[in-house]
A and B are shown apart, each in its own frame.
Chain A
Amino acid sequence: GAGVSQSPSNKVTEKGKDVELRCDPISGHTALYWYRQSLGQGLEFLIYFQGNSAPDKSGLPSDRFSAERTGGSVSTLTIQRTQQEDSAVYLCASSLETGQETQYFGPGTRLLVL
């Protein structure tokens, strides 16, 4: 497939556990974005990567959230010690490069923290 893929598609976890969410951007896309969409809310920006570096981490809601990107491709969003308020859909998007405005979104990972 040529689109952005995310895994897992659904994740149910217990409060206090750590989770890892994965994003495979479109091949060749250097910019990668993570957003969070809570029920009834708009998409909330979390973090942006240009290549492997993250010049903008300002959207991460707490220090329990971290993300990395390796090889300029796959990105992992990690949430440590999950809380119930972390339950949301986590969306990843990529674009060809910074300055290319169209963002291509993956299907999201639906996270439920019990």
Chain B
Amino acid sequence: SQKIEQNSEALNIQEGKTATLTCNYTNYSPAYLQWYRQDPGRGPVFLLLIRENEKEKRKERLKVTFDTTLKQSLFHITASQPADSATYLCALEGRYGNNRLAFGKGNQVVVIP
């Protein structure tokens, strides 16, 4: 069966350190993978997209890697700040041809001042 797995335990990290989140998937061949941020009571907000032929993508303090052999993406927040505290969702496009996304359950990050 198809699965998208993110760590269910919250990641508590000291301000200024790098937070690293993992997204593992099974029985998908995604054309691309996205990361979204979700704050309590709000809808997800798009952060980054990485395509199957890309190894790494950066945006400001964010970095995403994509390993299609390991079927894994890593999401890094460098120099983390308390404002980065949120839940981060991994989403895959499953080649349906309509950008239908399959989401992981998300991983909460808490940045401690």
Give the CA-CA distance A88 to B17 in the complex, in Å: 35
Most chain A beta-carbon neighbours within 10 Å: one of B4, B32, B44? B44
Instruction: Check: A70 CB closer than 8 A to any chain B CB.
Output: no
**Min distance, Cβ A32 to any Cβ of chain B, angstroms:** 11
Name the interface size band of chain A: 20 to 34
Instruction: Check: B13 CB closer than 8 A to any chain A CB.
Output: no
Q: Which of B93, B99, B105 contacts A42 (CB 8 A)?
A: B105
Instruction: Check: A1 CB closer than 8 A to any chain B CB.
Output: no
Closest to B51 in A: A101
Q: Report whether B89 and A100 are in contact in the complex, using a CB–CB cutoff of 8 Å.
A: no
Residues of B within 8 A of A (CB): 4, 32, 34, 36, 41-46, 49, 89, 91, 93, 96-106
Residues of A within 8 A of B (CB): 4, 31, 33, 35, 40-45, 48, 50, 55-56, 59, 91, 93, 95, 98-108
